[in-house]
């Protein structure tokens, strides 16, 4: 696998510093609601706390506290045995007092120390026990969506992180395409390296390629074949057969926590028919969606345009799960979470820095499914695909 | 990579059904506290909700409600577009009403429907907004540790899941050992396949092997060399040099959500000295810990015995992070979370079905670090290593 390591860009994934977070939006949120402080508590699986701290901590809760006119960058109550890592990764003040106490208790102690105010903002996902500790200490906790709103607009450094992981995702897709191109029809089977190809074998090949490129599959790799493409989150084992749609959807995560997201659909040895028509419709819907994206456009317009294009090709744009047609939305924001703002269902206007997927698809429970997906960012000029990867109905060999 | 796929056991990872959860412990918890229902809300990253439902849902909150004498297996308020998956994976009743409402609101509607009681139990990690929705509906929410307690004792099916992922983890370790055995000293470098070996290259090789075996590295793979071994969660890039300790700690996650956990430490071209002495001490501490484990032994005794053995070899058993000696605990429970009960720091007695790591280690910030780790389960007879993998100071070639 040496060739994989000779690609300079991938091998420097880890060497690039993590994006940083500017916390001015918290000052604005505090001023707007006349609150004294912002608090969040979470573990390494909480992407809000990762955004606020850039700390890739443990799977135990830790606390972030931000006080207006308090320590720049806020205060991180670091878990025991993670102090050194916290100091390397977090730009604010690291406190280690009472490391054995619950994170909510430690956050309360920081508030007691730094502010006389009582009004505290927190994301609605803050654990109930943490909020209860604050409330028992006399603080009023109010939910804020400020963190989610800030996260929806990406900085240049964040876009660079997204591009890097999307490039690795494209490498994984290249592997899938290569395996499919190498596979040979044998009756109703596709044979690859002497054995029948299954979604499980293909998924393992792709995930190994992602790992070799320094990103994790994040348990998100979906490989469907024929009818199993209809299951949008299929992770099982099914035979991959000639003439079937093979849908590959990769959402790996890079070392700084940003996700990529790309889908392609291939057919080996197609006889045309439904698969070909579906592909043409989906590709056309994707192009329409791309053409629609620009600053000022209501986000829902992007979905409406893609859906209308699929309808024009005769596919039901409002099908329910398990029915034939377009059974999901056109996209979702991508960043430190695989699904975050902006929503493409909402009235809000697209803004430069909004990064999201465009992924129209059509499905037929008896035939298969086709989805094509690009990861894009809204620019002043319109839209940019974060990493270009060719589209093809038939898999291309190396 | 065909050879990886010819191993029947790994390739059937996904075909094995997920373990199931018996919810009798919830009946006991409700009876004990005279509560009407148990509620939890979480997304796919919340391991409690996964344990309760076996639903590998989306990264948006969903709700689980369990009412005494209510639907067997409880009620899952399934997220939109996951209904089919919920019905396949969840053994209780799936409800899809008001799929657009917050999970806490949907849980409240189930309570309104199924019970006249007001007392509700929930894990302390339930999101604050969900608890607030319940409280506004007139329910009293009290924290319970019942789920964590149930999870700490594994069923046979759970032990089988742990064995399978640990076997894949051992395959990853075999890859690390093979690469190190193939590497050649060249001055102060180790050269592998024509290029200097780094922790990053070694980590990618290992993670690709894990992926090829059908498990994810779960962003947990730690590869340290020399001084970077002191950082217990090192994920950066450093040269791997002759004579240094190379510490490899793998904690992959299998398709049903269970983690493995194994550590080995190798030295290529050792001249003995600190590295050899540290290795002998750690291996001896591991053997002592293994000998200590049996039903009825207070968990903390295991740690105390391992620490005493390291002290007998002259290593400080109570060193702080960044100091020389034993800087962490002897182990942690492993299951659907990488860190869960039982604690090896507590007074509680070990019981059959407790599955945890044993991982003594010693570190010296200027020299390196040695850790050896086995994943074990307490049996009626004593202890079982869940998957045996050889220990070796010098890496063994293929």
Q: What is the CA radius of gyration of chain A?
A: 23
Q: Are residues B137 and B286 in the same domain?
A: no
| Bridge partner residues of B38 (DSSP) | B66, B121
Per-residue DSSP letter, B28: H
Residues B276-335 have pLDDT tens digits of 999 999 999 999 999 999 999 999 999 999 999 999 999 999 998 889 999 999 999 999
- Taking the C-alpha atoms of residue B371 and residue B363, their distance in angstroms, rounded to an integer, is 8
User: Do residues B204 and A254 touch, judged by C-beta distance below 8 A?
Assistant: no
Domain membership flag for residue A274: yes
Residues B157-213 have pLDDT tens digits of 999 999 999 999 999 999 999 999 999 999 999 999 999 999 999 999 999 999 999
- Taking the C-alpha atoms of residue B268 and residue A237, their distance in angstroms, rounded to an integer, is 40
Burial class (CB in 10 A: 0-12, 13-18, 19+), B107: buried
- Taking the C-alpha atoms of residue A269 and residue A238, their distance in angstroms, rounded to an integer, is 18
- Taking the C-alpha atoms of residue B333 and residue B378, their distance in angstroms, rounded to an integer, is 11
Q: Is the confidence at residue B12, as pLDDT, over 50?
A: no
Residue where one domain finishes, among candidates B151, B177, B194: B151
Classified as helix, coil or strand, A249 is strand
- Taking the C-alpha atoms of residue B258 and residue A166, their distance in angstroms, rounded to an integer, is 28
**Cα A372 versus chain centre, distance:** 16
Count of domains forming chain B: 2
Q: Are residues A331 and A365 in the same domain?
A: yes
The sign of the torsion formed by the CA atoms of A348, A349, A351, A355 equals positive
Q: Is the confidence at residue B5, as pLDDT, over 90?
A: no
What local confidence, expressed as pLDDT, does residue B80 receive? Answer: 78
In sequence order, which residues have a C-beta less than 8 Å from that of residue A253 and are 6 or more positions away?
A165, A215, A216, A218, A259, A260, A338, B219
B233 contact A CB<8A: yes
* Contacts with B, A 5-34, CB within 8 Å: 5, 11, 14-15
What local confidence, expressed as pLDDT, does residue A86 receive? Answer: 94
B3 contact A CB<8A: no
- Taking the C-alpha atoms of residue B71 and residue B91, their distance in angstroms, rounded to an integer, is 10
In this prediction, the answer to ipTM > 0.85 reads yes
What local confidence, expressed as pLDDT, does residue A212 receive? Answer: 98
If one compares B20 and B17, the residue with the highest pLDDT of the two is B20
Q: Are residues B61 and B184 in the same domain?
A: no
Q: Are residues A225 and A308 in the same domain?
A: yes
- Taking the C-alpha atoms of residue A32 and residue A22, their distance in angstroms, rounded to an integer, is 18
Q: Are residues B109 and B196 in the same domain?
A: no
Q: Is the confidence at residue A4, as pLDDT, over 50?
A: no
| Bridge partner residues of B373 (DSSP) | B263
What local confidence, expressed as pLDDT, does residue B13 receive? Answer: 46
Domain membership flag for residue A271: yes
Residue where one domain finishes, among candidates B119, B151, B183: B151
Domain membership flag for residue A17: no
Mean pLDDT, residues B264-280: 96
Q: Are residues A115 and A173 in the same domain?
A: no
Smallest CA-to-CA distance from A280 within A256, A249, A315 is with A315
Q: How large a percentage of chain A has pLDDT more than 90?
A: 89
Q: Are residues B137 and B265 in the same domain?
A: no
What local confidence, expressed as pLDDT, does residue B321 receive? Answer: 83
Q: Are residues B171 and B112 in the same domain?
A: no
Strands A382-385 and A355-358: unpaired
What local confidence, expressed as pLDDT, does residue B15 receive? Answer: 62
**Cβ contact B212–A209 (<8 Å):** no
ω into B342 cis (within 30 of 0): yes
A178 contact B CB<8A: no
Mean pLDDT, residues A269-296: 97
- Taking the C-alpha atoms of residue A338 and residue A291, their distance in angstroms, rounded to an integer, is 23
Residues A25-42 have pLDDT tens digits of 999 999 999 999 999 999
Structure confidence at residue A126 as a pLDDT band (50, 70, 90): very high
Q: How large a percentage of chain B has pLDDT more than 90?
A: 89
Domain membership flag for residue A9: no
Q: Is the confidence at residue A13, as pLDDT, over 90?
A: no
Mean pLDDT, residues A178-189: 97
**Cα A38 versus chain centre, distance:** 25
**Cβ contact B84–A231 (<8 Å):** yes
Q: Are residues B265 and B176 in the same domain?
A: yes
Residue where one domain finishes, among candidates A151, A173, A195: A151
**Cβ contact A339–B59 (<8 Å):** yes
Mean pLDDT, residues A158-171: 98
A181 contact B CB<8A: no
A140 φ, ψ (degrees, to nearest 5): -95, 120
Domain that includes residue B48, residue range: 24-151
- Taking the C-alpha atoms of residue A133 and residue A106, their distance in angstroms, rounded to an integer, is 9
Domain membership flag for residue B390: no
CATH label of the domain that carries residue B84: 3.40.350.10
Q: Are residues B64 and B202 in the same domain?
A: no
- Taking the C-alpha atoms of residue B219 and residue B235, their distance in angstroms, rounded to an integer, is 9
- Taking the C-alpha atoms of residue A222 and residue A225, their distance in angstroms, rounded to an integer, is 10
Of A81, A194, A211, the CB nearest to B211: A211
Domain membership flag for residue B371: yes
- Taking the C-alpha atoms of residue B14 and residue B215, their distance in angstroms, rounded to an integer, is 10
Q: Is the confidence at residue B7, as pLDDT, over 80?
A: no
Burial class (CB in 10 A: 0-12, 13-18, 19+), B68: middle
Domain membership flag for residue A19: no
User: Do residues B23 and B60 touch, judged by C-beta distance below 8 A?
Assistant: no
What local confidence, expressed as pLDDT, does residue B81 receive? Answer: 82
User: Do residues B177 and B246 touch, judged by C-beta distance below 8 A?
Assistant: no
User: Do residues A282 and A361 touch, judged by C-beta distance below 8 A?
Assistant: yes
| Bridge partner residues of B139 (DSSP) | none
Q: Is the confidence at residue A11, as pLDDT, over 50?
A: no
**Cα A227 versus chain centre, distance:** 25
Q: Are residues B200 and B293 in the same domain?
A: yes
Q: Is the confidence at residue B360, as pLDDT, over 60?
A: yes
Structure confidence at residue A1 as a pLDDT band (50, 70, 90): very low
What local confidence, expressed as pLDDT, does residue A346 receive? Answer: 84
In this structure, the number of other CB atoms found within 10 A of the CB of residue A320 comes to: 11
Q: Are residues B307 and B239 in the same domain?
A: yes
What local confidence, expressed as pLDDT, does residue B54 receive? Answer: 96
Place of tokens 């202890």: B383
Terminal Cα distance for chain A, rounded = 15
Q: To the nearest whole number, what is the mean pLDDT of chain B?
A: 94
CATH label of the domain that carries residue A258: 3.90.230.10
Residues A199-256 have pLDDT tens digits of 999 999 999 999 999 999 999 999 999 999 999 889 899 999 999 999 999 999 999 9
* Contacts A–B by Cβ distance under 8 A: 149
Report the residue of B83, B128, B234 to disrupt the A interface, i.e. the one with the largest count of A CBs within 10 Å.
B128
What local confidence, expressed as pLDDT, does residue B272 receive? Answer: 87
Q: What are the start-end ranges of the H helices in chain B?
A: 2-5, 8-11, 24-33, 47-53, 83-89, 103-114, 128-136, 146-151, 156-182, 199-212, 273-292, 299-312
What local confidence, expressed as pLDDT, does residue B14 receive? Answer: 52
Domain membership flag for residue B11: no
Mean pLDDT, residues B73-87: 91
If one compares A83 and A9, the residue with the highest pLDDT of the two is A83
Of A14, A85, A128, the CB nearest to B127: A128
């Amino acid at each position: 696998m040496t060739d994989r390591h000779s690609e300079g860009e991938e091998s420097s994934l880890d060497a690039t510093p993590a994006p940083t977070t500017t916390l001015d939006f918290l000052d604005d949120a505090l001023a707007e609601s006349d609150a004294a402080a912002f608090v969040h508590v979470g573990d390494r699986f909480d992407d809000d706390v990762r955004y606020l701290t850039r700390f890739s901590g443990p799977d135990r809760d830790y606390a972030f506290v931000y006080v207006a006119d308090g320590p720049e960058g806020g205060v991180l109550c670091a878990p025991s045995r993670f102090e050194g890592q916290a100091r390397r990764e977090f730009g604010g003040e690291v406190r280690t007092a009472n490391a054995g106490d619950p994170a909510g208790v430690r956050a309360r102690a920081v508030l007691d120390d730094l502010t006389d105010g009582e009004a505290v903002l927190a994301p609605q996902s803050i654990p109930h026990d943490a909020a209860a500790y604050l409330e028992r200490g006399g603080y009023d906790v109010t939910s804020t969506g400020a963190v989610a709103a800030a996260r929806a607009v990406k900085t240049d450094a964040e876009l660079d992180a997204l591009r890097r992981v999307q490039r690795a995702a494209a490498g994984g897709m290249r592997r899938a395409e290569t395996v499919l191109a190498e596979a040979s029809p044998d009756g109703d089977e596709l044979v690859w390296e002497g054995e029948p190809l299954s979604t499980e074998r293909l998924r393992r090949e792709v995930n190994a390629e992602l790992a070799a490129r320094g990103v994790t599959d994040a348990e998100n790799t979906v490989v469907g074949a024929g009818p199993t493409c209809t299951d949008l989150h299929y992770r099982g084992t099914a035979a991959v057969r000639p003439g079937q749609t093979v849908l590959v959807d990769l959402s790996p995560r890079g070392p700084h926590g940003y996700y990529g997201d790309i889908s392609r659909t291939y057919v080996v040895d197609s006889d045309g028919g439904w698969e070909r028509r579906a592909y043409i419709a989906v590709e056309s819907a994707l192009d329409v969606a791309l053409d629609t994206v620009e600053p000022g456009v209501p986000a829902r317009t992007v979905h409406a345009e893609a859906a209308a294009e699929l309808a024009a090709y005769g596919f039901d744009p409002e099908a329910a799960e398990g029915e034939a047609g377009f059974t999901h939305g056109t996209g979702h924001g991508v960043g430190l979470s695989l699904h975050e703002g902006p929503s493409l269902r909402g009235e809000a206007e697209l803004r430069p820095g909004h990064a999201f997927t465009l992924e129209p698809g059509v499905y037929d429970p008896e035939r298969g499914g086709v989805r094509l997906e690009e990861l894009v960012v809204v620019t002043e000029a319109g839209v940019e695909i974060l990493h270009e990867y060719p589209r093809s109905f038939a898999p291309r060999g190396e």
